[in-house]
């Protein structure tokens, strides 16, 4: 059995998906930006969503004209409570990047139509 809890903020829509005893959090973003952290002001650096382990890119939901490296549209960050669920997801899905640099493992994926 699975339950969905959906809520929205100014910048994103968050889906908290509960599977019996497992939980993952999926957050949708219309746009995410890879930004050059060294070109950002200190207060802008606090908006970091994910630091990619695959290529050390820094993903933000707020754009900075002087620091923008690349833009992704229609994406989600999926955060896992345990490493086994993360590994299964990475092995069975096409991902943009992943991160083991935060409290929980996470992946960045394009949202499927």
From first to last of its 113 residues, what are the pLDDT tens digits of the chain? 344 444 444 455 555 444 444 578 889 999 999 998 888 888 888 889 999 988 789 999 888 877 888 999 999 999 999 899 999 999 998 999 999 999 999 999 999 86
Q: Look up the pTM and report it.
A: 0.77
Pairing of strands 22-35, 68-80: antiparallel
Domain range annotation of the chain: 2-110
Contacts of 38 (CB under 8 A, 6+ apart): none
Alpha-carbon Rg for the chain in angstroms: 14
Confirm if 64 and 42 have CB atoms less than 8 A apart: no
Confirm if 83 and 105 have CB atoms less than 8 A apart: yes
């Amino acid at each position: 059995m699975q339950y969905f809890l959906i809520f929205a903020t100014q910048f994103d829509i968050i889906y908290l998906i509960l599977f019996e005893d497992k939980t993952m959090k999926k957050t949708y973003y219309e746009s995410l930006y890879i930004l050059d952290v060294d070109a950002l002001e200190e207060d802008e650096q606090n908006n970091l969503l994910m630091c990619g382990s695959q290529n050390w890119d820094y993903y933000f939901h707020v754009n900075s004209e002087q620091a923008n490296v690349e833009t992704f549209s229609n994406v989600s960050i999926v955060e896992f409570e345990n490493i086994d669920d993360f590994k299964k997801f990475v092995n069975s899905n096409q991902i943009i990047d992943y991160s083991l640099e935060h409290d929980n493992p996470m992946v960045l994926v394009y949202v499927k139509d």
